[in-house]
A and B are shown apart, each in its own frame.
Chain A
Amino acid sequence: MTLIACRDLTLAYDQQPVIAGLTFSVSPGDYLCIVGENGSGKSTLVKALVGLKTPSEGEIRMGEGLRPTEIGYLPQQSEIQRNFPASVYEIVLSGCMAYLGKRPFFGSAERKRAETALNRLNLSGLKNRPYGELSGGQQQRVLLARALCATSKLLVLDEPAAGLDPLISKDLYRMIKSVNRDEKITVIMISHDVQNAVAEASHILHLNKKPLFFGTTEAYLETSLGKLYREGIAA
């Protein structure tokens, strides 16, 4: 029973491989954290998962009736315009695009979906506020709500807490965890916050050009990599 499986995956820019020979799989309900240093290819990997990048070798297979357009994606912050003139509601509603089919306009079902996502992330009060005037943490919550609108199966989040202060990050992680636990939505999240990853994720994928580790969090803590972090926490 796998939701998404990568086999011998190689991803490259202009023939220069960024990731080579990566094999892993994610089951429904899993919470996978992808960790690794800057430039280790984490964003490239999730772009391949959501269909923005074609693998140069290997394959990505989706199971459980998951269609590529049913993934809720949250891009890395640098790729979003922070001062874009749009209201919170306009942005969250646009997450329902995959449900639009051939219709030109959103109907009541999509509007309800957007409302639910807004409520889920405590954004109802900000519904009509301009996106550009929100704090970084609020903006990330809006993008998370949009991703939630786009899926009821799999969230793929690229550093949702980057640049947020520890308290706000914690809040965001808590919401992600509760979405994973209560709504049984699978989560694949890139994070530099290994402490949080170890605390909340069910699986860890540690990348550094080549895959260093893939497995459950418990197993990760037993490896030399994981031990390093555990000692870090203890210290």
Chain B
Amino acid sequence: MSQTATVDHVVAPDSGKGAVDYIRNGKGIVSWLTTIDHKRIGLMYLGSVVLAFLVGGLFALAVRLELLTPSRTIMSAAGYNQAYTLHGAVMVFLFIIPSIPASLGNFLIPIMVGAKDVAFPKLNLFSLYIFWIGALITLSSLVLGGIDTGWTFYVPYSSRVSTTAVVNVTLGAFIMGFSSILTGLNFIVTMHKLRAPGMSWYRMPLLCWALYATSLVQIVATPVLGITLLLLIFERAFQIGIFDPALGGDPVLFQHFFWFYSHPAVYIMILPGFGIISELIAVHSRRKVFGYKAIAFSSVAIALIGFLVWGHHMFVSGQSELAGTIFSFLTFIVAIPSGIKVFNWTSTLWGGSIKLDTPMLYALVFLILFTIGGLTGVFLGMLGVDLHLHDTYFVVAHFHYVMVGGTAVAFFGGLFHWWPKMTGKMYSEKGGAVSAILVFIGFNMTFFTQFFLGSRGMPRRYYNYLDQFQPLHAFSTVGSWVLGAGFALGIVTLLVSLKNGKQAPANPWGGLSLEWQTASPPITENFESTPVVTHGAYDYPLAQGQKEHA
């Protein structure tokens, strides 16, 4: 193909004028609660997960405040154990897991592949309700005795000793799992069946590939979590004796079950972030993605190999040395595809036309923080080194670099990137940029410090700690305030735009994927007529009138 094309020729032109956009199409709360429009459902998910993020964030600030001094600062040991457990459980089950797929994914996948909606729109609404019910049951623990087991629910503490509302939280997580499974199913079928004419697999935006891989993991791994949590509930209620050694059970078995889901779940959390970063870097550099297929297939590779490394959470649990050795080796293998992605993103900057808009700033923050998160994971994958670092603050720092520095930062970057599309409003660039910078500084203050703490022998989940660690803990706590301010400013900037923001153009960043070829905000059917796709999501050289290279 050597003809030239401009952006307008990529798809069937779409004026968007005349038709009412999806936000104004239907008024009143009932029209939202009964909608089957993937965009509205995505928006409702978005509101829910951001709310969960705020709740989880408040718990995080409380935990950090308590750790300002080596003994009691503001709460009791029991209160502290509840605060950190709720922080973890809310952030994992109510925020990170659903965050990108259910909100941005729901909104974007159908538009990106040129469809009117997801494959099963009613099922999609049903998933949202399941999520809400599960979330409410989980949160009911707040008033019904809290929970103090850690988000990992290790037995026999959770099954026999803890007097808190363990059943509520696990039952809630169990129910939310169905939402996750059904959403994954919906996405996979949508991508298989509803791609617009000309939208071949390799023309799909990389976010779609990432969410495809994520959906696979959601479908395969989540049932295992469901069974595990159900068994835990039975163990607690009826002493069936599967996990509790006092009843003839095996507590290490629980850990195998739990991590068989929860390690792949790490990829449920990070793969969508990878997808967003691919979009942000390509669009804000207006550059053809370097190594499209490598990025696409590394997502799938991570999803598959990710199933075989759960035992790296259990090197000192009492599992056999041979098992530990195999899990360690596979852990190093799964590091390769993540590394490949980072190299490809960096290379995509080469020869680009880079503008440091807020989304791009967040993408760069991601690149640096995720790189640190990945490289510190290498320490923990090494068997001998993990003997020293396991269950210390080094681990806490490492996974926050991946989950917050990676996923949460990607989520915010994506939010800024697609906000004009979702709401039709432009936000204050200044607010966005300052929030990205505050997040970067605050995050490193909070969590880089914790690498020192962990290396020096500070265990995690400690209410009281040795006096010698106080200076580092205090510094980390101050960092959490800066980090909190950064995220808060980001959210405020977006909310303010709803009132004061300028009307967003259809394509504020000059992107080529389909979502930028329709109005902001889109009409309910997404496109006036089914788009016909003639080339890939990142063919910037073509759009710029350059000759196509082979």
Answer yes or no: are A and B bound together in one complex: no
